[in-house]
């Protein structure tokens, strides 16, 4: 799970960004280790048990739709033959990440509709990250419907292609959100529950692993193998029933 890839990763929100140098080296690492990228549709097929994903496969996602994707991400992906999904905030397209203003970091520019359409033509999947990036579990029924179904319709109208995947803003979702996403016709949704995805994972609660500016080569490799950061993984292990000797989880799509 990525957000912005920028030479200025930020201050208060720094952990959500990475630098272009980090991104390049991470993609090189994937290629050198024999990983390929899969689409979210392939992740959903694996989760539903329809078709297993390749052993060394990751799906790359970019929340919020930052304009830096065009210069700092797309050329690197294309060089490696990788693909990704970009999640747009429907009412903020062409504007800035106004929902983060309260944290005090400078605003970041978001992709415009033309740019998003260009990405779609180049094989980047475009998903919805709701209409306004609000906390979905706090919303009334009609507001929730507008964020989930309304954002899908807006993006489909503007891009002229189906929007098949949803990303919960702030990762926040409850039963009502999950039901709303399924009812609106999405094929799947990504949360920010850490770990890998495998047969049996709920397609509307796909797991993701945040890659941060603090990740060096070693911690990125660890996240790639386990779907967890070191501390998260230790905490997850402790919660497992009969927690015994530690062994790494199998390769997984994350």
List of residues contacting Zn ion (CB under 5 A): 63-64
Work out how close the CB of 166 gets to Zn ion at its nearest, in angstroms, rounded to a whole number: 12
CB of 152 to Zn ion, least distance (A): 16
Nearer to Zn ion, 102 or 239 (CB): 102
CB of 171 to Zn ion, least distance (A): 8
Q: Which long-range contacts (CB under 8 A, 24 or more apart) does 212-220 make?
A: 212/15, 212/16, 212/17, 212/18, 213/9, 213/14, 213/15, 213/17, 213/18, 213/19, 213/22, 214/15, 215/18, 215/22, 215/26, 217/25, 217/29, 220/26, 220/29
Distance of alpha carbon 230 from alpha carbon 219, whole angstroms = 8
Which residue sits closest to Zn ion, CB atoms considered? 63
Closer Cβ to Zn ion, 208 or 223, answer by number: 208
Q: Which is nearer to Zn ion, 63 or 146 (CB)?
A: 63
- Distance, CA of 222 to CA of 178 (rounded, Å): 30
The nearest distance, CB 72 to Zn ion, in angstroms, is: 18
* CB-nearer residue toward Zn ion: 2 or 204: 2
Please state the closest distance from residue 80 (CB atom) to Zn ion, in A. 25
Q: State the residue for tokens 């692993």.
A: 209
Q: How far apart, in whole angstroms, are the C-alpha atoms of residue 194 and residue 50?
A: 23
Provide the minimum distance between the beta carbon of 219 and Zn ion in the complex, in angstroms, as a whole number: 22
- Nearer residue to Zn ion within complex by CB, 31 or 210: 210
Cβ distance to Zn ion smaller for residue 45 or 63:
63
Using DSSP's 3-state secondary structure scheme, residue 166 falls into strand
Nearer to Zn ion, 167 or 201 (CB): 167
User: For residue 114, how far is the Cα from the chain centroid?
Assistant: 21
Separation CA 60–CA 86 (nearest Å): 9
The least distance separating Zn ion from the CB of residue 129, rounded to whole angstroms, comes to 5
Return the number of other C-beta atoms located less than 10 Å from residue 32's C-beta: 8
């Amino acid at each position: 799970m990525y957000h912005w890839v920028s030479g200025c990763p930020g201050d208060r929100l720094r952990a959500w960004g990475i630098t272009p140098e980090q991104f390049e080296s991470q993609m090189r690492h994937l290629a050198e280790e024999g990983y390929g990228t899969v689409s979210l549709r392939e992740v959903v097929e694996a989760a539903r048990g329809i078709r297993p994903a390749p052993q060394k496969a990751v799906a790359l996602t970019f929340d919020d739709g930052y304009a830096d994707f065009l210069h700092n991400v797309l050329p690197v992906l294309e060089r490696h033959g990788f693909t990704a999904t970009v999640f747009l905030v429907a009412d903020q397209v062409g504007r800035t990440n106004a929902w983060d203003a309260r944290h005090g970091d400078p605003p970041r520019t978001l992709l415009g509709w033309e740019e998003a359409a260009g990405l779609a033509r180049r094989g980047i999947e475009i998903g919805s990250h709701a209409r306004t990036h609000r906390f979905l579990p706090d919303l009334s029924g009609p507001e929730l419907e507008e964020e989930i179904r309304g954002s899908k319709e807006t993006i489909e109208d503007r891009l002229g292609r189906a929007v098949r995947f949803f990303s919960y803003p702030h990762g926040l979702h409850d039963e009502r959100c999950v039901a709303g996403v399924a009812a609106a016709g999405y094929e799947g949704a990504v949360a920010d529950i850490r770990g890998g995805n495998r047969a049996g994972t709920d397609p509307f609660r796909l797991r993701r692993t945040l890659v941060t500016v603090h990740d060096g080569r070693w911690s990125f490799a660890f996240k790639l193998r386990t779907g967890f950061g070191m501390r998260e993984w230790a905490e997850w292990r402790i919660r497992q029933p009969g927690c015994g000797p530690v062994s790494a989880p199998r390769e997984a799509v994350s």
